[in-house]
Structure 1
């Protein structure tokens, strides 16, 4: 068992021995596992799945003539041939699975249309050549049927039980408990991944919201701002739709084609679901759905109309999220402890293997589930060493820490003359803030000037803030601008950032007046604001110690999308300029609406390399890229459009750079880990826990890291997947660096879920995509102005 180093010197020796650099090679599909850290035993949310069917599972591709788009109608048509296809068949709209083989490789079934007796149809079933005994697709469809048998309905690929929902009538909310399932082919075989899930719904309909706004001024625009981009669920079939537009000219009396004739929405819902539409003048909501034609391999956009009276908004609105009481009450139901989650998953396994209907489905296909959750080996990595003032070092043994006066700021940038803009009502609390700010700066080594000009506004309209910034925010006179907003208004915040970042080229800090008015958290708020101001001026509160001689440049990449699909997407690239991760270079690019893969990677990365060389006098010895989001399904797209352009930049600028690693980082993953603290009692694993076996991809260099400690609920690990590696980086080195860099996000005194460079890229892309809507000035590309 590895012994954790007790000193900087010991850690240095361990890292040199265990993280040696291999010769240059391309290791894109090589399985790698680490050895470093204290070994521990973990329980996961996976269940082994066994297939005892020696005859196999047979798959067929189904095509219909004339084409049928509705899966339910397709299923009804195939039911006419149950004597041949049998009841146990599994069909998902394209693929038909059978536990036996049909007599011919291609079979044609002719019958009548389920809804039109005079229409003759044909279904052609063509045998697939590849074996389906281990088909992930088949098993996911199979377990979807089992979930239906267990009385759960499907909502966005998760399954919920409406009968046991939690009601919060005082907040007009409902919480539906559920479970998500997915069958995956992992390193140790076929497994079922389980996780508890919760969905929050509003209990009042969209129509109720319209009625509440009806008497207000400009209610149509207010409703449009509220509903566009929201996801709604229909009360009659639990289908979800993302709202893209509003049909103000339409109404429930509008007609559409149904079964070959025109019918109104009022008639349709009465006939199909026995629902009576009351208000015949309400507008219709529009959702644009991309429909794929599997016969012609084309895609068309179809607009679906939804009646506001029979749908609800999914999730909480901004007003709910800003209400601490609402958030606290919702978390009481949704933040399940590891022990509660373990109990719920174990109960689901028991129920699935005991309920007769579910058991019969499994036995028909000769499939077995293990009766317990899977156990795997894990390791606890040592905490990183952080530097503070005068290079004071501490080994960070806790997931969070305090910046105390005895530690001080690692790199304190003096603050000269600065400007504060606020309303007349907030002037008093602003002066109290200035006093406490100066006190904190003096205690931590930040030199702060008393030369502050306070500009007060009589009114707080967007024009007032704009005029104050244009008149006073002169970078030749002021080093920094602070704006205190009496309340948050998106247009004012965007205006402030746009003027400061794109026109005046001066770093700025926006503070909500209620933050300064909160006496209970006033000291910590002032401390956080002071750290942010220092970072935006080019300083850093702490530094990271990496006991390696080679020069490493970390890259973080993230893309921001407009949920309404109206504004262009923004991709941000953040590059570290030293091994201590205290200096960064930023670049951002605006691209097409909802475009995830950037087409401008080479110039972005080239500028980062040139900035590193300009700062350090040489290019880095190693580049490690952390790319937010992504999955195995479009790995080749990332390699083609992002990895290859970056390699081209290296070939042109620094051909001697042999070590390059591109890692996709996913934080929204279903995997969970539990540690048995005492017999029968389960808790979260400690920060630094890494898992790189059993539940990882076969023939892939990937691993999971738990970097945070969670006081409420089960902790979420982060998945790292290396899709390209040149130079053969050791697993121990990459895992330790990935964990250590989670401590370098200066907005939080502790570890976050992803490497800091990704979070910085997330902040910058959000600032540009949501507020600036243009490229900020390159004069601030070495400052964290987007914090």
Structure 2
């Protein structure tokens, strides 16, 4: 299936020029590149593999690229030995006094990469063939070859410790530079960007131990290490590579990997010397090496079975990537390190290009490749901002946002919900959250909600306290019951005031209210409750209103004609995968779809599927459910489907398009054989390294980023397919990342202006804030739904100590979101409201609760 072609360049908006972090490849090899298969025996790690191949190149006076995959070698011309040959190479495996080891290199010609096909593709005269992909891969290997020989590499980035910044816990963040070869119209580009990752701090192991345990100095550990700290330390140090320094230069070259930590300190850790006698580690080091331990009270590290090393004779080897989850403090420090304003990021990218030194790269020269040192300039446009509509009774019923933001002053939500039956639960003691403080916050919240158009007849909801470490489910059920008793109506909302911003309590509340009770919940951070600011209350109002079925804002139908001219459904899909260290957990797929012509109400479908599977397995049934919801709401079937798909990499485009387009068609056919709405399928990408930098101050917002509505559709985009970069939001800090929209399939004959304007306008009606967001709301909601669904399994996000058996059992424990109350219960409730007095109604609620929670 061929992807959609660009229908022509757009004209809507004000024309500007921007710089982007791409550097043009000024000359691409014209001659074919020779591909060889290579095998090195015995098998060795990548770093040693690279060193062996360097020795081979020097000894045989040849030049070739040993790719990152190690099995492929590329050369600018035929190598002198013919189609195949075997060589022996002497290469030392360590830096010590051991003799060199003999390695055997087998090389065989695998084929030729025809560079002419790449030139045809770039000029729009041919499709993207496997040969073109190979040619682009060779350029990737070529630009990464020299940096990978001199620096530590992670994926497409290489890292340097120059300017490294320490985080807490013996971890530091290194500056990295990402680079990737990208095709564009008539040229190849090199995308260069900043990256950062965490590494262990090199140096004394004792110093690292002090930092991991959060002590001021090693003197704080003179009494030894408690069991709790020892377990924490062992987990942090496991598999860390160290060298020993107690015998000078000779042993400092030897490397070990930490397996565990001894239960006893060095002066009490004993081992068998082989003659039946035992000795403690401290005594052994003194007698054998004349080394009196300075810290005998610290435990030893175990590097092999029964091989104990005192911590003070160990050094952490430089350049070890920290792959564990960062703490909140470490994450905050990492964000501060990476969050750089546009001008600073652009300057650092230029510095990175100087470090890469493309012009002085001997391998580039041998292949005939030259790269510009200047960022590329691209034409762009700033699309007009849409007009937002609020309730007609507002003092300011319509507003045109400035720089992507506005506020609720003098505005009432487009459709205000009524909140009558609700309760408040504070997870903390009365000493922590006094009744007066909670009531003061409620007064401000209720006043703000009413000013913004909500109706709240019950201004004194019941307030209760609960233990955050106690039975959360029982507390929430009690709050549900009190809400119904107080208002004599079906409970609508539980407001939960949380003592902290940690995930576990929040996740448990959402799991219970979504899947056990079936009621909307609104969580409030205690620090905001104690301050009770109007702006915060206004933000909470937006969330509560839509949770209760209201509508916050909409766009005039004339500004979104594609949706309003004919019945049209918007769909956004995303898949949330488990972390790489959790292979047994499932993936979660979510689709969110609009329900009306204003694209302001949405319904969702969720499925749990095999972990790390990119195709949405049950897409047909999910789409069928959402089409039914649209029909039940509007009374008409959608005639057009606009499907935004997140979480797809370029290598998966064909697979996703073929599988998921067919699934959408199957869903339509299952409803009616003749039902064939037109479909447009758009991939939405945020995980890329493209950045835009305005060239004129008048085209920048207050943070120095491009203005919301900036769109780029040429120079840095695909040579001929329908894609564009859209920066729809205003940056709060750092350098904003535009969203990449790539149209894979289009039966609706979108013009460039039509799809760009629609996608941009939709970003203003995200329900939860008064700012334009960075990507279209259907996808944004799908992402939130995936995250929420993780909470529906006990312990899914916040525990890293579960066994595999526990995890596998949890796959089947994802809760199903409950309806608020079954219809029959609601029916009998309204009869009883007139027939029974308050006391009997209370008893009825207890009976109803018992039935409901069974």
TM-score grouping bracket, smaller chain normalisation: 0.7 to 0.9
Give the equivalent residue in structure 1 for 2:349: 345
**Residues 387 and 545 in structure 1, CA contact (< 8 A), matched pair in contact too:** yes
Is 1:595 aligned with 2:613?
Answer: yes
Offset of residue 457 of structure 1? 2.7
Cα distance in 1, alignment partners of residues 24 and 53 from structure 2: 35
**Residues 647 and 684 in structure 2, CA contact (< 8 A), matched pair in contact too:** yes
2:624 to 598, 601, 606: 606
Offset of residue 575 of structure 1? 0.4
Offset of residue 125 of structure 1? 1.7
Cα distance in 2, alignment partners of residues 421 and 602 from structure 1: 41
Residues 681/492 of structure 1: CA separation in 2 closer, same or farther (3 Å cut):
closer
Cα distance in 2, alignment partners of residues 284 and 758 from structure 1: 48
**Residues 627 and 758 in structure 1, CA contact (< 8 A), matched pair in contact too:** yes
1:69-218 to 2 correspondences below 5 Å? 70=46, 72-73=48-49, 76=52, 79-80=55-56, 82=58, 84=60, 86-87=62-63, 89-92=65-68, 93-102=70-79, 106-111=83-88, 114=91, 121-131=104-114, 135-147=135-147, 152-167=151-166, 174-200=172-198, 203=201, 205=208, 209=212
Offset of residue 312 of structure 1? 6.8
Offset of residue 485 of structure 1? 1.8
Residues 121/312 of structure 1: CA separation in 2 closer, same or farther (3 Å cut):
closer
1:286-301 to 2 correspondences below 5 Å? none
Give the equivalent residue in structure 2 for 1:526: 537
Q: Secondary structure at the match of 1:637?
A: helix
Give the equivalent residue in structure 2 for 1:536: 547
1:717 to 729, 733, 738: 738
**Residues 239 and 259 in structure 2, CA contact (< 8 A), matched pair in contact too:** no
Cα distance in 2, alignment partners of residues 710 and 588 from structure 1: 31
Offset of residue 234 of structure 1? 6.2
Cα distance in 1, alignment partners of residues 758 and 140 from structure 2: 36
Residues 587/168 of structure 1: CA separation in 2 closer, same or farther (3 Å cut):
closer
1:776 to 798, 810, 816: 816
Residues 167/374 of structure 1: CA separation in 2 closer, same or farther (3 Å cut):
same
Give the equivalent residue in structure 1 for 2:646: 628
Offset of residue 75 of structure 1? 5.1
Give the equivalent residue in structure 2 for 1:395: 400
Cα distance in 1, alignment partners of residues 239 and 776 from structure 2: 34
Q: Secondary structure at the match of 1:712?
A: coil
Structure with the bigger RCO (C-alpha within 8 Å, sep 6+) is: 1
Offset of residue 707 of structure 1? 0.9
Q: Secondary structure at the match of 1:125?
A: strand
Offset of residue 246 of structure 1? 9.2
Q: Secondary structure at the match of 1:164?
A: strand
Q: Secondary structure at the match of 1:401?
A: coil
Offset of residue 443 of structure 1? 1.2
Cα distance in 2, alignment partners of residues 52 and 380 from structure 1: 33
Cα distance in 1, alignment partners of residues 175 and 42 from structure 2: 41
Offset of residue 438 of structure 1? 1.6
Offset of residue 757 of structure 1? 1.3
**Residues 621 and 659 in structure 1, CA contact (< 8 A), matched pair in contact too:** yes
Cα distance in 1, alignment partners of residues 679 and 26 from structure 2: 39
Residues 339/309 of structure 1: CA separation in 2 closer, same or farther (3 Å cut):
closer
Give the equivalent residue in structure 2 for 1:62: 38
Give the equivalent residue in structure 2 for 1:578: 596
Give the equivalent residue in structure 2 for 1:763: 784
1:545 to 545, 549, 556: 556
**Residues 704 and 719 in structure 1, CA contact (< 8 A), matched pair in contact too:** yes
Cα distance in 1, alignment partners of residues 84 and 163 from structure 2: 45
Offset of residue 605 of structure 1? 0.6
Cα distance in 2, alignment partners of residues 250 and 340 from structure 1: 49
1:660-699 to 2 correspondences below 5 Å? 660-677=679-696, 683-699=704-720
Is 1:437 aligned with 2:477?
Answer: no
**Residues 646 and 683 in structure 2, CA contact (< 8 A), matched pair in contact too:** yes
Cα distance in 2, alignment partners of residues 246 and 407 from structure 1: 62
Give the equivalent residue in structure 1 for 2:747: 726
Q: Secondary structure at the match of 1:108?
A: strand
Cα distance in 1, alignment partners of residues 600 and 646 from structure 2: 21
Cα distance in 1, alignment partners of residues 191 and 89 from structure 2: 40
Query: 1:474-494, CA deviations, whole angstroms, 9 ceiling, x for partnerless residues?
Result: 466422111112224544323
Q: Secondary structure at the match of 1:197?
A: strand
Query: 1:668-708, CA deviations, whole angstroms, 9 ceiling, x for partnerless residues?
Result: 21111122126999942211011111211233211100111
Give the equivalent residue in structure 2 for 1:418: 422
Cα distance in 1, alignment partners of residues 700 and 771 from structure 2: 27
Query: 1:123-164, CA deviations, whole angstroms, 9 ceiling, x for partnerless residues?
Result: 032232332575222222222234357x64323432222123
Give the equivalent residue in structure 2 for 1:17: none
1:248-647 to 2 correspondences below 5 Å? 282=301, 313=322, 317-320=326-329, 333-350=337-354, 352-353=356-357, 358-390=360-392, 392-404=397-409, 406-422=410-426, 423=428, 424-425=430-431, 426=433, 427-450=435-458, 452-457=460-465, 459-463=467-471, 465-474=472-481, 477-518=490-531, 522-547=533-558, 548=561, 549-563=565-579, 564-565=581-582, 566-647=584-665
Deviates more, 1:446-455 or 1:375-384: 446-455
Offset of residue 711 of structure 1? 4.3
Give the equivalent residue in structure 2 for 1:747: 768
Deviates more, 1:542-551 or 1:499-508: 542-551
Offset of residue 524 of structure 1? 1.5
Give the equivalent residue in structure 2 for 1:295: none
Offset of residue 86 of structure 1? 0.9
Residues 484/749 of structure 1: CA separation in 2 closer, same or farther (3 Å cut):
same
Cα distance in 1, alignment partners of residues 514 and 697 from structure 2: 54
The TM-score normalised by the length of structure 2 is 0.72
Offset of residue 370 of structure 1? 1.7
Residues 502/76 of structure 1: CA separation in 2 closer, same or farther (3 Å cut):
same
Cα distance in 1, alignment partners of residues 536 and 242 from structure 2: 44
Residues 468/54 of structure 1: CA separation in 2 closer, same or farther (3 Å cut):
closer
Give the equivalent residue in structure 2 for 1:12: none
Residues 550/780 of structure 1: CA separation in 2 closer, same or farther (3 Å cut):
farther
Is 1:28 aligned with 2:3?
Answer: yes
Query: 1:486-521, CA deviations, whole angstroms, 9 ceiling, x for partnerless residues?
Result: 2245443233222211111111112121221236xx
Cα distance in 1, alignment partners of residues 302 and 555 from structure 2: 57
Query: 1:450-493, CA deviations, whole angstroms, 9 ceiling, x for partnerless residues?
Result: 25443423643231x32222234146642211111222454432
1:40 to 16, 34, 37: 16
Deviates more, 1:436-445 or 1:51-60: 51-60
Q: CA RMSD in A?
A: 3.9
Residues 348/319 of structure 1: CA separation in 2 closer, same or farther (3 Å cut):
closer
Residues 692/233 of structure 1: CA separation in 2 closer, same or farther (3 Å cut):
farther
Cα distance in 1, alignment partners of residues 620 and 230 from structure 2: 45
Residues 234/669 of structure 1: CA separation in 2 closer, same or farther (3 Å cut):
farther
1:9-20 to 2 correspondences below 5 Å? none
Q: Secondary structure at the match of 1:129?
A: strand
Paired residues, number: 689
Cα distance in 1, alignment partners of residues 578 and 443 from structure 2: 40
Offset of residue 183 of structure 1? 1.2
Residues 456/727 of structure 1: CA separation in 2 closer, same or farther (3 Å cut):
closer
Q: Secondary structure at the match of 1:708?
A: coil
Is 1:652 aligned with 2:650?
Answer: no
Offset of residue 117 of structure 1? 7.5
Deviates more, 1:549-558 or 1:606-615: 549-558
Residues 284/707 of structure 1: CA separation in 2 closer, same or farther (3 Å cut):
farther
**Residues 77 and 113 in structure 1, CA contact (< 8 A), matched pair in contact too:** no
Residues 105/541 of structure 1: CA separation in 2 closer, same or farther (3 Å cut):
farther
**Residues 40 and 49 in structure 2, CA contact (< 8 A), matched pair in contact too:** no
Offset of residue 34 of structure 1? 2.5
Q: Secondary structure at the match of 1:462?
A: coil
Give the equivalent residue in structure 1 for 2:274: none
